[in-house]
Amino acid sequence: MNTSRSTFVLSFIAWLPLMASAAIPPATQDFVLDNGLKVVVREDHRSPIVTAQLWIKVGSSYEPPGQSGLSHALEHMVYKGSSKACAGEFSAILEKLGASENAVTGTDFTVYHQTLSSGRAGVAFEILADLMSTAKLDAQDFTPELKVIQEERRMHVDDEITVLAHERLNSIAHPASGYRTPTIGWMHDLQRM
């Protein structure tokens, strides 16, 4: 009995350094490019993938009254094409590479992200750079996209009582702040855009 207990205790002690090293997160490196873009790199070699994220300080809390939902609409519009690709072309390229992509607008940010094979990281950065610098923001694409966003609001907000309640609570809790505005926008603002 004592031998078993001693073996267990010694085995446990031997595993402690391994468990401690597994709990230490990878180091994060921050630097700023010549164009002012802040880059944060966190390497984790457990999988041969890379996730590229572009965080922009644009969200619903920055929108002036009467223009709620504009940040979210812009997030949609960025995918309508650029100087290098027409609408959907970059998504098709990423899909062929087995990548996943998405974008999310919040109250204080908009983030565009892609996850793909680490050997293709350059593709992710090239696409993000092109979309951010040469996105085609054509008026002819804006009106149909607003219809999509209005329908998105109907489905995910107007038809969901708990989401409506949360939206109403925010508007009451933050009456003089941009945080009173829903990220997707008020329907009356979307209809006036």
Catalytic positions, written as ranges: 75
Q: Which two tokens stand for residue 192?
A: 């006036």
Residue type, 186: W
Residue type at 156 in one-letter notation? H
Output DSSP code: residue 26.
Answer: P
SS3 104: strand
DSSP the chain: -HHHHHHHHHHHHHHHHHHHHHHSPPPEEEEE-TTS-EEEEE--TTSSEEEEEEEES--GGGPPTT-TTHHHHHHHHGGGB-SS-BTTHHHHHHHHTT-EEEEEE-SS-EEEEEEEEGGGHHHHHHHHHHHHHH----HHHHHHHHHHHHHHHIIIIIT-HHHHHHHHHHHHH-TTSGGGS-TT--HHHHHH-
Amino acid at 159: D
